[in-house]
Amino acid sequence: MELKNKVAIVTGGSVGIGRAIVGKLVSEGATVVIADINLESANLAVSEILKGGGNAFAVKADVSNSSDVANMADQTFAKYSRIDILVNNAGIRFINPLLEQTEEEWRRTLDVNLTAPFLCCKAVIPYMLKNGKGKIVNISSVAGLFGRPERVAYCASKGGEIAFTKAAALDMRGKNIYINAVAPALIDTPLNSGFAADNELAAVWGKENNVGRWGKPSEVADAVFFLCSNSSDFISGTVLTVDGGWTSAMVRATEG
């Protein structure tokens, strides 16, 4: 129960990786606010957590909208009088080659995946400073470290999120606010359900990393928990890959 008495906000916490993060933080004693564009799905997650004896609350928020984000932070503080942890997890992806990626897709991807973490940090950090400490984890992707085909907007947003993490961590130096990123790959979530359903493709992709399988949302949640705990107090502005070694495998491939 390392996070007992801590209050966390997890964006996009209703399903997939976000839901696993919510479950892990709750199991470690935190009270978790799920901020999601899909309130019905967030409420469903909250009722599961309450049934299991945990403490959670749902707020409807499109995290790309600054007034929704302000409401998310203000409501959390009004209800629990503190905010200790922020996990910027909500994310979207449109798969299209460069010449077919629309301007609308590009702008929406950048809004949700990159502008939203900026807005959430701006809204939440003033409350963290009142506590004297805060932990922020941005869920980026290995797509922010490498180019991936048919994902220009997604790769740009996730690469931007990594650069944002490093620069924001620097601006928080000496303030006891820790900002880090996690870069997962190939996790079995609703975002990837189309690929996971294609048995042949799913098997090939599973063999691309060193572990030889897809990752589980709970395995990303474990890494996020570490970055939210006191055990990571000398870690700031870093990117932790949770990818079964996929990124190291890419380096091997280029070496022939």
Residues serving a catalytic function are: 154
Q: Which residues contact 104 (CB under 8 A, 6 or more apart)?
A: none
Nearer to ligand NAD, 94 or 133 (CB): 94
Nearer to ligand NAD, 141 or 232 (CB): 141
Q: Which amino acid, 100?
A: E
Contact, 87 vs 20, CB < 8 A? no
Size of the site for ligand NAD (CB under 6 A): 30
**For helices 103-110 and 152-171, angle between their N-to-C axes, nearest 10 degrees:** 30
Specify the stretch interacting with ligand NAD by CB under 6 A; choose among 58-66, 77-85, 164-172, 225-233: 58-66
User: Is residue 135 classed as helix, strand or coil in its secondary structure?
Assistant: strand
Rounded to the nearest whole angstrom, what is the least distance from the CB of residue 24 to ligand NAD in the complex? Answer: 14
Site string for ligand NAD, 138-177 (x = CB under 6 A): -x-x------------------------------------
User: Distance between CA atoms of 179 and 157, rounded to whole angstroms?
Assistant: 17
Site string for ligand NAD, 93-132 (x = CB under 6 A): -------------------x--------------------
Q: Write out the two tokens for 127.
A: 């409350």
Binders of ligand NAD among residues 191 to 250 (CB under 6 A) are 191-192
Q: Out of 7, 114, 185, 239, name the contact with ligand NAD by CB under 6 A.
A: 185
Contact, 149 vs 207, CB < 8 A? no
Rounded to the nearest whole angstrom, what is the least distance from the CB of residue 13 to ligand NAD in the complex? Answer: 7
Does residue 10 touch ligand NAD according to CB under 6 A? no
Q: Which amino acid, 239?
A: V
Q: Write out the two tokens for 64.
A: 């790309």
Kindly tell me the sign of the dihedral angle through the C-alpha atoms of 154, 156, 162, 168: negative
User: Is residue 90 classed as helix, strand or coil in its secondary structure?
Assistant: coil
Q: Given the rule CB under 6 A, which residues bind ligand NAD?
A: 11-12, 14-18, 36-38, 41, 61-64, 89-92, 112, 139, 141, 184-187, 189-192
